[in-house]
Amino acid sequence: MPLPNINPTTTNSWKKLQEHYNKINNSHMKDLFAQDSERANKFTIKWDDFYVDFSKNRITEETFKYLLELASEVKLKEAIESQFSGEKINKTEGRAVLHTALRAPKDAEFYVDGVNVMPEIYQVKQKIETFTNEVVNGERKGFTGKSFTDIVNIGIGGSDLGPAMVVESLQYYKNHLTTHFVSNVDGDHVNEVIKKLNPETTLFVVVSKTFTTQETLSNANTLKKWFLKSATEDAIAKHFVAVSTNIESVKNFGIDKNNIFPMWDWVGGRFSLWSAVGLSISLAVGYTNFDSLLKGANKMDEHFKTEDFKTNIPVVLALISVWYNNFFKAESEAVIGYSQYLNQFATYLQQGIMESNGKSVDRNGNPIDYETGTLIWGEPGTNSQHAFFQLIHQGTKLIPADFIGFVKSLHGNQDHQDKLTSNFLAQTEALLNGKTEVEVIAEGTEKSIIPFKVFKGNKPTNTIFINKLTPESLGKLIAMYEHKIFVQGIIWNIFSYDQFGVELGKQLASKILQEFNSTSVNNHDSSTNNLLNYYKG
Ligand code: F6P
């Protein structure tokens, strides 16, 4: 069954939501809490080690009812089934979307073109496990017989952001290997990494689904050249491995066929960390932890697939986000992790969310006249409190925010954990309630200063409180956002799994690169001509 194709704005629930919005958009959440002592309980989902409180949103039971109706009117249930059953829901690229198969148990069945892909997935997982163990245990050696100390992941976009974010988030679980990430085509990036490497003990993991990406191939070639200053060609087989669907090009690059970890076209780049793209994760934290990450994601998949929508975490978060995006016209959402380990989480989500849902043509190919993908941004709390929170609290823009926190700290420093958690809880409370003029006056504030110290409050937040940051809970958290992306794409009637918007710039860059060799360039707009000629000198 192809994806349903319904303009959300033509549904009854959308119309009801619009009328309802006109009635309640000025209500203050403070009053909603005062009117209903059960509000927090009604709008909280407890699932596994997740406690998701979405009561601090500008919603009522009526809003929630209409949002759930919207999910059913756009046939979300059917769309979820289409995705999990391996249909080619990535229609514009003619591909299935089955990152969920990568984290499913061995006896699960996922079919692509009538073939169950699980045996192949498990063959590659076995290869990842064996390889990881050999490197971590020191059995695999470099060209001078020394064990590896450093891993360099060479990739960009989904072949970098996912592994980099997970390795950073799971630092606590890391082994003795040092992992580096080279992504930018800026030569300063690769050269800074080179400064830290010893060719005898470094393993290079070249990750590129297509193996055509300029940045990755340039960096891989530079690192290969640098490596060959100390080693001979035959040493490449010991030090370079690749993850790709493009086996021929990997071989042409000079990588031994036994060192290729395959992936499949039904895994989108930004959803690929669960595949061999996650090899650097497995190397950094060990295969058992990598597998726990996948198991966590699988638990979230099951929850998403089977849970009733009103207690389905990704569905509820997606609906609330649509409410702000399309009715309140909020342009962006912040994601604030109260854990320093999550410092790359928002950057990672930017690709997932903005590359997937930054679309302006619907599933019929027609231009859209409603808002789609939100801007996503964020930094860890408490640092962000001292940076951009002023604007969230007192600025003119509405910025719904997800607050992610953990009940237990990893190092067990309770003093720090209590301080961190008090901030985590205080911020969402402050955003909800604000501070009235009466309260400001009661603090003895000088009259002329009063308006500056008033906080309107009524700023929406979701609190995602997780017991502890573990590979498994991180897997659940990432999968939660993946499914949120899917749900929003279905509601907005767009294709979430292509990314044609990144192509034009790539094409023009390759044209401009060639023009650096010509004497004078005048075939662009005058601004680009001037800039180009300025660069050429
Ligand atoms: O930027 C576009 C993109 O295609 C991403 O979707 C992808 O994650 C990235 O480039 C890297 O692609 P590849 O893994 O093929 O090198």
- Measured in Å, residue 410 CA sits from the centre of ligand 1 at 33
Pick the catalytic residue from 386, 411, 443, 447: 386
- Report which protein residue has its CA nearest ligand 1's atom 9: 157
Compute the average pLDDT of residues 29-40. Answer: 98
- Report which protein residue has its CA nearest ligand 1's atom 8: 158
Q: What is the pLDDT of residue 2?
A: 83
Domain 8-73+307-491, CATH homologous superfamily name and number: Glucose-6-phosphate isomerase like protein; domain 1 (3.40.50.10490)
Q: Encoding tokens for residue 268? A: 């989108």
- Measured in Å, residue 495 CA sits from the centre of ligand 1 at 17
Q: What is the pLDDT of residue 91?
A: 96
Given ligand 1 and candidates 209, 271, 275, which is best to mutate, with the most ligand atoms within 8 Å of its CB? 209
* pTM (predicted TM-score): 0.98
Residue 101: is its pLDDT beyond 80? Answer: yes
> Residue 278: which H helix or E strand, with range?
none
Residue 386 annotated in active site: yes
- Measured in Å, residue 158 CA sits from the centre of ligand 1 at 6
List Cβ neighbours of 494 (8 Å cut-off, separation of 6 or more).
Answer: 357, 359, 361, 362, 363, 368, 372
Strand partners, 462: 402
Cβ of residue 219 lying under 6 Å from some atom of ligand 1 = no
Compute the average pLDDT of residues 101-120. Answer: 97
Atom of ligand 1 nearest to the CA of 161: 8
431 and 393 Cβ atoms separated by less than 8 Å: yes
Pick the catalytic residue from 168, 215, 355, 482: 355
Helix (H, G, I), strand (E, B) or coil at 56: coil
Pick the catalytic residue from 397, 506, 511, 536: 506
Q: What is the pLDDT of residue 170?
A: 98
Q: What is the pLDDT of residue 340?
A: 98
Determine the Cα–Cα distance for residues 403 and 409; give it in Å rounded to an integer: 16
Cβ of residue 183 lying under 6 Å from some atom of ligand 1 = no
What does 199-241 look like in DSSP terms, one character per residue? GGGEEEEEE-SSS--HHHHHHHHHHHHHHHTTS-GGGHHHHEE
* pLDDT tens, residue by residue, 427-451: 999 999 999 999 999 999 999 999 9
* pLDDT tens, residue by residue, 67-89: 999 999 999 999 999 999 999 99
Residue 333 annotated in active site: no
List Cβ neighbours of 436 (8 Å cut-off, separation of 6 or more).
Answer: 454
Atom of ligand 1 nearest to the CA of 216: 16
Determine the Cα–Cα distance for residues 88 and 328; give it in Å rounded to an integer: 34
Strand partners, 376: 333
Cβ of residue 354 lying under 6 Å from some atom of ligand 1 = no
Residue 474: is its pLDDT beyond 90? Answer: yes
170 exposure class (CB count in 10 Å sphere: 0-12, 13-18, 19+):
buried
- Measured in Å, residue 44 CA sits from the centre of ligand 1 at 37
Atom of ligand 1 nearest to the CA of 156: 11
Cβ of residue 132 lying under 6 Å from some atom of ligand 1 = no
Atom of ligand 1 nearest to the CA of 244: 14
Cβ of residue 214 lying under 6 Å from some atom of ligand 1 = no
C-alpha radius of gyration, the chain, whole number: 25
Determine the Cα–Cα distance for residues 438 and 428; give it in Å rounded to an integer: 21
Residue 520: is its pLDDT beyond 90? Answer: no
* pLDDT tens, residue by residue, 485-509: 999 999 999 999 999 999 999 999 9
Query: Looking up tokens 């690749």, which residue turns up?
Result: 242
- Report which protein residue has its CA nearest ligand 1's atom 3: 157
Given ligand 1 and candidates 217, 253, 356, 502, which is best to mutate, with the most ligand atoms within 8 Å of its CB? 502
Mean of per-residue pLDDT scores for the chain: 97
Given ligand 1 and candidates 90, 159, 270, which is best to mutate, with the most ligand atoms within 8 Å of its CB? 159
Q: Which CATH class for the 110-289 domain?
A: alpha beta
Q: What is the pLDDT of residue 60?
A: 98
Compute the average pLDDT of residues 207-221. Answer: 97
- Measured in Å, residue 359 CA sits from the centre of ligand 1 at 17
* pLDDT tens, residue by residue, 166-199: 999 999 999 999 999 999 999 999 999 999 999 9
- Report which protein residue has its CA nearest ligand 1's atom 6: 269
Q: How far apart are the first and last CA of the chain?
A: 58
Q: What is the pLDDT of residue 518?
A: 87
Atom of ligand 1 nearest to the CA of 158: 8
Q: Encoding tokens for residue 105? A: 């148990």
Cβ of residue 502 lying under 6 Å from some atom of ligand 1 = yes
List Cβ neighbours of 235 (8 Å cut-off, separation of 6 or more).
Answer: 142, 143, 227
- Measured in Å, residue 296 CA sits from the centre of ligand 1 at 25
Compute the average pLDDT of residues 110-125. Answer: 97
String of b and e for 36-49 (b: at least 16 CB within 10 Å)?
A: eeebeeebebebeb
Residue 355 annotated in active site: yes
Helix (H, G, I), strand (E, B) or coil at 198: coil
Task: Kindly indicate the confidence band of residue 423, based on its pLDDT and cuts at 50, 70 and 90.
Answer: very high
What does 382-394 look like in DSSP terms, one character per residue? TGGGGTTHHHHHH
Task: Kindly indicate the confidence band of residue 521, based on its pLDDT and cuts at 50, 70 and 90.
Answer: confident
Cβ of residue 269 lying under 6 Å from some atom of ligand 1 = yes
Given ligand 1 and candidates 90, 156, 184, 218, which is best to mutate, with the most ligand atoms within 8 Å of its CB? 156
Of 107-116, 158-167, 334-343, 518-527, the least confident = 518-527
Residue 1: is its pLDDT beyond 80? Answer: no
Q: Encoding tokens for residue 91? A: 């229609």
Q: What is the pLDDT of residue 519?
A: 84
Task: Kindly indicate the confidence band of residue 278, based on its pLDDT and cuts at 50, 70 and 90.
Answer: very high
Residue 537: is its pLDDT beyond 90? Answer: no
String of b and e for 499-525 (b: at least 16 CB within 10 Å)?
A: beeeeeeeeeeeeeeeeeeeeebeebe
